[in-house]
Amino acid sequence: MGRVDGKVAFITGAARGQGRSHAMRLAEEGADIIAIDICEPVPSNNIPPATEEDLAETVRQVEALDRRIVATKADVRDFDALKAAVDAGVAELGRLDIVAANAGIAGMPAQAVDLPEDHWSTMIDINLSGVWRTAKATIPHLKAAGGGSIIITSSDAGLFAYPNLSHYVSAKHGLVGLMRTLALELAGDRIRVNSVHPTTVATEMVLNDTIYRLFRPDLENPTREDFASAAIAMNALPIPWVEPVDISNAVLWLASDESRYVTGVPLPVDAGAAVK
Amino acid sequence: MTGRVEGKVAFVTGAARGQGRSHAVRLAEEGADIIAVDLCGPVPGLQYSHATEEDLQETVRQVEALDRRIVARKADVRDRAAMKAAIDEGIAELGHLDIVVGNAGICILAPWDEVTPEVWDETISTNLTGIWNTVQLTAPHLIEAGGGSIILTSSAAGLKGLPFLTPYVASKFGVTGLTKAFAHELAKHNIRVNSLHPTGVDTPMGEMAGEYPRLLAGNERLAGMLTNSLPIDVTEPRDQSNAVLFLASDESRYITAMAMTVDAGNTQY
C-alpha cells in the first residue's frame, strides 16, 4: 500500500530537477500526477531551459511506475494557462489532493543596487507570484475534495539572506508569508499548507558556473569541487549538498496523511544550515 | 516490503503508555527494535494517573506482537545510573543504537502564583534535565554507530508561552534550545537532532484538561491561546509518532536542528 495511494498531485516545474523527483516519488507511493513546466527559456535565468523532451521524460518515468500523468507545457506567470492545465488534469484524473508548488528560477546574481529592474520583476513574477497563482488555481479543487495538502518550495534563502541574490531571497521570504496566511485561511477546509526549505540541492540550477563563481569569488575558474568546499561550510552536517530525493521525501511526508495535523510549518531540509 | 527503519534500534523514554508507547509501536511496525524506559511510578502533584509497570509490560507485549525485540526497564530519566544501566543492557542485547526518542515528561497545570518550588523542580528536572541526561548518555553510542537521529519531545509550549504552565513552558523552551545546541556539536558525527512540538494529544496526560475551566475563569482572555487552527481539539498519539518515524528514518537524513510542529496550526494562530 502506497503512502499516497489514490491521491492526485499537481506539480509545477516538473520537467526535471526537484519537480521531476517529486513526481516520481509521489508516483512510487501511489499518486497520479498533473505536471506542468514552462519548457522554454526564461529571461535573466542562469541555466539552459527545461525542454519538452525533459517533460516527456518525466511522463515516461511516471508511466513506468504504472501511474497516470497529465503533462502540459504551461508557465506559472500565465494564470489562464495554469488554470486550464489544472482543470484538464482534474477532469481526466478525477480529483486533486496534493499541490507541490516547485517551479522557480535562481536568476543572475548581482548586488541589489546593480540589479536590472526586469531581473527583479521576472524573479518575483515566477518565484513568488507564480506560487500564489498555483494556489489560486488549485484551492477550489482541494476544497471540492474535502481537504488536501499544499507544499510550497521555498529555500534556505527564505529563512536567511545571501548577498547578491536580493530578488531570490525576497521572493523566497515572501513565500513564507504566503504559506502562513494560506495555512490560516484554509485550515477550516482541512487544507494544510507548509513550505520546504532546501539547502544546496544537486541539480543543474545550482551546480553550474554562475553559482560556482558567486560562492568562490576568490577563484578565476572555480570547479564543482571548489564550490563543494564553500557549500559544506554553509551546512552543519558535514555534506556539501543534498539530493533531489531528500526534498521529495519531505514533500511526500507533508503530502501524506501521516502529517494530517501539520500545517503552517517551514520545514528545512538543509543539513542544519539555517540555524548555523 | 522493507520497513522504513528496518534493522535500526531505538531508545524511547516514557514508553509505558501515551506517546512513548505509540512511538515504540510505530517504529517497531517499520522494523526497529526497541529499548524502552519509564518511571512507572507516582509523581507528586500530578493531576492525572501515573504510568505503571503493567503499562510498560503492555508496551513490551505490543512490540513483541510485531515480531520485534524490546528491552524494557523501569528507570527515571533523572537517575543517570539507572538510565545508563538500561541503555547499556539494551545495547548489549540488541547490538547498537541508531535512534533516540526523548519523550518522557510531566505536566502540572497551575496559575503562576500557585506553582510551588517542588512543582518547579520536579518539572525542570524531569522535562529538561531528563532530556539532557538522555542525550548525553546515548550520544556516545550513536557516534559509535557512525551516526543517528535524536528526536526530543518539546511542545507547542516550547514555542509559545501557553498559560498556567510556567514551569512546563520553561522546561519545553529549554528543550527547544538544547536541541539546536546539541545539533551543532553532534553534526560532525552525522547525528541529527530535532525537536517535536505537539499540540494536545489524546493520552492519559489529557485527564487534567478538566482543570482548564477553573483556570480560565480567572483569566478568560487567554482561552484563545489554546485553540488549534485546524478544526480539531486533539491529535492522536500516532500523529506524533508519524513525525518521529519520519525524523528517525533516513528519509530525513539531511534534516537537523529543526523544530517540527505537529500542532494543527496552534503555534501559528
B166 neighbors B222 (Cβ within 8 angstroms): no
Enumerate chain B positions whose Cβ falls within 8 A of a Cβ in A.
180, 183-184, 187-188, 190, 192, 199, 229-232, 235, 239, 242-243, 245-246, 251-258, 260-265, 267-269
Residue with cell 548555523: A276
In 3D space, the residue among A204, A179, A202, A200 whose CA is nearest the CA of residue A191 turns out to be A179
B157 neighbors B172 (Cβ within 8 angstroms): yes
B229, B251, B263 ranked by CB distance to A184: nearest: B229
Partners of residue A249 in chain B, C-beta under 8 Å: 251-252
What's the pLDDT at B249?
Answer: 98
A183 neighbors B268 (Cβ within 8 angstroms): yes
Q: Give dist(CA A98, CA A108) in Å, integer.
A: 31
Give the list of residues 6+ apart from residue B176 with CB closer than 8 angstroms, or none. Answer: B154, B158, B159, B195, B197, B259
Class of domain B9-262: alpha beta
- Torsion angle in degrees (nearest 10) through CA of A112, A117, A119, A123: 90
pLDDT at position A144 over 70 = yes
Partners of residue A271 in chain B, C-beta under 8 Å: 187, 254, 256
Position B73: which residue type?
R
Residue A168 annotated among the catalytic residues of the structure = yes
In 3D space, the residue among B72, B42, B68 whose CA is nearest the CA of residue B58 turns out to be B72
SS3 category, A253: helix
pLDDT tens per residue, range B18-48: 999 999 999 999 999 999 999 999 999 999 9
pLDDT tens per residue, range B92-146: 999 999 999 999 999 999 999 999 999 999 999 999 999 999 999 999 999 999 9
pLDDT tens per residue, range A146-181: 999 999 999 999 999 999 999 999 999 999 999 999
Confidence of residue B186 (pLDDT cuts 50, 70, 90): very high
Dihedral sign from CA coordinates of A36, A41, A47, A49: positive
Least confident of A41-55, A70-84, B57-71, B178-192: A41-55
The x, y and z cell numbers of residue B64, run together, are 513483541
Contact assignment for B258 to A253 by CB distance below 8 Å? no
Q: Give dist(CA A168, CA A158) in Å, integer.
A: 9
pLDDT tens per residue, range B239-259: 999 999 999 999 999 999 999
Q: Give dist(CA B134, CA A9) in Å, integer.
A: 40
Contact assignment for B242 to A258 by CB distance below 8 Å? yes
What's the pLDDT at B1?
Answer: 65
**Mean pLDDT, residues A110-123:** 95
Partners of residue A189 in chain B, C-beta under 8 Å: none
What's the pLDDT at A132?
Answer: 98
Q: Give dist(CA B215, CA B178) in Å, integer.
A: 30
SS3 category, A36: strand
Percent of chain A with pLDDT over 90: 93
B180, B183, B269 ranked by CB distance to A184: nearest: B269
Q: Which of A162, A168, A212, A261 is catalytic?
A: A168
What's the pLDDT at A47?
Answer: 86
Q: Give dist(CA B166, CA A97) in Å, integer.
A: 40
**Mean pLDDT, residues B152-178:** 97
Partners of residue B183 in chain A, C-beta under 8 Å: 236, 272, 275
SS3 annotation, B178-194? HHHHHHHHHHCCCEEEE
Contact assignment for A264 to B229 by CB distance below 8 Å? yes
Domain boundaries, chain B: 9-262
pLDDT at position A111 over 80 = yes
Strands A266-269 and A191-198: parallel
Q: Give dist(CA A180, CA A182) in Å, integer.
A: 6
Q: Give dist(CA B243, CA B197) in Å, integer.
A: 10
Percent of chain A with pLDDT over 70: 100
Contact assignment for B229 to A242 by CB distance below 8 Å? no
Percent of chain B with pLDDT over 70: 100
What's the pLDDT at B201?
Answer: 96
Name the residue with higher pLDDT: A276 or A193.
A193
Q: In what order do the strands lie in the sheet with A69-73?
A: A69-73, A32-37, A8-12, A98-101, A148-153, A191-198, A266-269
A192, A262, A268 ranked by CB distance to B255: nearest: A268
SS3 annotation, A134-150? HHHHHHHHHHHCCCEEE
Least confident of A44-48, A92-96, B114-118, B125-129: A44-48
Q: Which residue of B230, B252, B260, B268 to mutate against A (max A Cβ within 10 Å)?
A: B230
What's the pLDDT at A45?
Answer: 84
CA of A264 vs chain B CAs: smallest distance (Å): 6
A98 neighbors A26 (Cβ within 8 angstroms): yes
Q: Give dist(CA A171, CA B1) in Å, integer.
A: 41
B235, B243, B268 ranked by CB distance to A264: nearest: B268
Contact assignment for A187 to B242 by CB distance below 8 Å? no
Q: What's the mean per-residue pLDDT of chain A?
A: 96
Residue with cell 501511474: A67
The x, y and z cell numbers of residue B7, run together, are 534493522
pLDDT at position A227 over 70 = yes
Enumerate chain A positions whose Cβ falls within 8 A of a Cβ in B.
180, 183-184, 187-188, 190, 192, 199, 236-239, 242, 246, 249-250, 252-253, 258-265, 267-272, 274-276
Q: Give dist(CA A32, CA A96) in Å, integer.
A: 9
Contact assignment for B261 to A249 by CB distance below 8 Å? no
Contact assignment for B256 to A199 by CB distance below 8 Å? no
What's the pLDDT at A275?
Answer: 87
